[in-house]
Amino acid sequence: MSEAKVPEKGTFLWKFSKKFNFAAEKIIPDSFVFCVILMILVFVLSLIIGKGPIELLNAWWNGLSSQFTLAFQMGLMVIVTATCARSPQAAKFLGWLANKISSRTGALIVLMIFGYVSSMINWAFCTVVTPILAMHLAKRIKGLHFPMMVAGGYSCMILGQCLGPSATLYSTLALEDSNYAQIVGQSYSVAETCYNPTNIVIFTVLAILFVLLVLFTRPGKDELVELGDIATQADEVPNSFAITEKAVTAADKMNTCKPVM
């Protein structure tokens, strides 16, 4: 299948999306800034309605500390899934998959489908492994705009939260004593939330729409950002995670140290 000819300045969707670059890069602040602003706003409004500052500080700390367990679980999950994504087996599979693709359109479609599937396995796994596949594809196929591929892979992870059993909302809402279950008044099984027919239909429509957006949002030749000869993780295939060197204890180090005369 021959690739469609692209205007020198990119497709209509590309030119339209560029109008938002200034706002995204210069105006919209980091998400942490929004958190701080909202926290201050809630604090001030609470003072106005009669809450004391000590009471608000205690409530803030109790709310923050209640998330420590979840934060540890999320951090551990990211570490474990990142290790799996960088394993020799995953690297070989991604290289094999990338070698099967020969066109830009096929590469983007395979990348998006792979992102959706991996996000259903685990959102953190998708976040790590999909960009690595994008590197493999961009190394082998000309005409791929790598930033757009990363954006497409990230959108897969976000949308995958709507139909992935690893989503925190679905798994937590299924527990009877969870905070979410207490808020809505009862617990709901994953079949009632994640795999609800309405949810599946919405996910399918949005998944197809995202693929089409990525396909038809193509920059012009002068704005194309290719990986080319830039070294990436796609060039480093680990042979094994096994430790072959002999472990050295503190006593061994002491024995090897020679006294200075």
- All structural domains of the chain with their residue ranges: 83-235
Q: Give burial (CB, 10 Å; 0-12/13-18/19+) of 43.
A: middle
Q: What is the pLDDT of residue 1?
A: 44
Q: What is the pLDDT of residue 145?
A: 87
Count of CB atoms within 10 A of residue 76's CB? Answer: 11
pLDDT for 136 beyond 80 = yes
Q: Whose CA is closest to 122, among 166, 86, 175?
A: 166
- Please tell me the least confidently modeled range out of 26-35, 102-111, 128-137, 208-217: 26-35
Half-sphere exposure of 173 (CA within 13 A, CB side): 17
Q: How far is it, in rounded angstroms, from Cα 2 to Cα 43?
A: 59
Grade residue 77 by pLDDT with cuts at 50, 70 and 90: confident
Residue 84 Ramachandran class (φ > 0 left, ψ -120 to 50 alpha, else beta): alpha
Q: How far is it, in rounded angstroms, from Cα 167 to Cα 185?
A: 20
Q: How far is it, in rounded angstroms, from Cα 27 to Cα 34?
A: 13
Q: What is the mean pLDDT of the chain?
A: 81
pLDDT for 167 beyond 70 = yes
Q: How far is it, in rounded angstroms, from Cα 178 to Cα 95?
A: 42
% residues pLDDT > 90 (the chain): 8
pTM: 0.73
Tell me the CA end-to-end span of the chain in Å, nearest whole number. 76
- Please tell me the least confidently modeled range out of 8-22, 100-114, 233-247: 233-247
pLDDT for 233 beyond 70 = no
Q: How far is it, in rounded angstroms, from Cα 91 to Cα 85?
A: 8
Q: Which residues contact 96 (CB under 8 A, 6 or more apart)?
A: none
pLDDT for 2 beyond 50 = no
Q: How far is it, in rounded angstroms, from Cα 193 to Cα 225?
A: 40
Half-sphere exposure of 80 (CA within 13 A, CB side): 8
- C-alpha distances in Å from residue 137, one per residue of 100, 105, 108, 209: 10, 11, 9, 22
Grade residue 258 by pLDDT with cuts at 50, 70 and 90: low
Please compute the mean of the pLDDT values over residues 48-70 and round it to a whole number.
85
Q: Whose CA is closest to 109, among 188, 1, 225?
A: 1
